[in-house]
Amino acid sequence: MADRAGVDFGEIKIQKLDDLNDEASGKIVNISRGAIHVKVSRYISRGAVRVWFSEDCHSDGHIIFCRSDEDMFCAGILFPPDSTDFKRSELRVPLTNQPAIVTQLQAGPQAKQDAQALDISRSGLGLLMDHPISNHTWVKVELAFAIVFGEVLYSKKEAQSGYRLGLRIETFLMRDGRLGDASELLYRSSCVVT
């Protein structure tokens, strides 16, 4: 299992859709295409759920399993694909308190910029920065838990908060030296569905 001491996907709240008063809090331990695995303190039965990633951001899914895992439970939540969103086929998981350093690989040594990592998926990384970076620029992103190399797909102005960058991940290197991609967070977990 990977050491995730520097990874913080944040706390989430899970509500059963057949009883909105039935709530549980949990912590995301890994992500994959259209699914998350969550550590929770109690058993959650199979069925439709609403997952609150923050106070104003939720997605509906289904508990596909919940099993004992040491002194906790590990629940697998599957999110059906959104047929109206063809551009985003992978689940994005929010990152909280994840500062980043972005280095433009085709520029000089002054090309380093501070950033905030906003979210991650199997093949992409969302960043918030003070200055834009041109599309198709190759960058290195240093995070607390990994180093990412990739290509800037877009850089757009966010209202008063800077620029949101979308990065396509080419190489994902865990801080302990393993090479992989963002799905490494899934495959190193003890909660992998087989």
**pLDDT for 179 beyond 80:** no
- Contact between residue 49 and residue 14 where contact means Cβ atoms under 8 Å apart: yes
Pairing of strands 72-78, 35-40: antiparallel
CA distance 65 to 78: 10
Whether residues 70 and 98 fall in one domain:
no
Q: Which of 78, 112, 130 is the last residue of a domain?
A: 78
Question: Does 171 reside within a domain?
Answer: yes
- Contact between residue 181 and residue 168 where contact means Cβ atoms under 8 Å apart: no
133: tokens are 């970076």
187's enclosing H/E stretch is helix 184-187
Whether residues 103 and 74 fall in one domain:
no
Comparing 47 with 160, which gets the higher pLDDT? 47
Please write the tens of the pLDDT for every residue from 114-160: 999 998 888 899 999 999 998 888 899 999 888 888 889 999 998 77
- Contact between residue 181 and residue 122 where contact means Cβ atoms under 8 Å apart: yes
Whether residues 175 and 97 fall in one domain:
yes
So what's the pLDDT on residue 86? 41
Domain that holds residue 18: 11-78
Q: Hey, is 185 helix, strand or coil?
A: helix
Please write the tens of the pLDDT for every residue from 55-108: 777 888 899 999 998 899 999 998 876 544 445 556 777 888 899 999 998 766
CA distance 187 to 168: 20
Please report which confidence band the pLDDT of residue 50 belongs to, taking 50, 70 and 90 as the band edges.
Answer: very high
Mean pLDDT of 11-29: 89
Burial environment of residue 140 by CB neighbours within 10 A (0 to 12, 13 to 18, 19 or more) = middle
Beta bridge partners, 114, equal: 101
**pLDDT for 194 beyond 50:** no
So what's the pLDDT on residue 190? 33
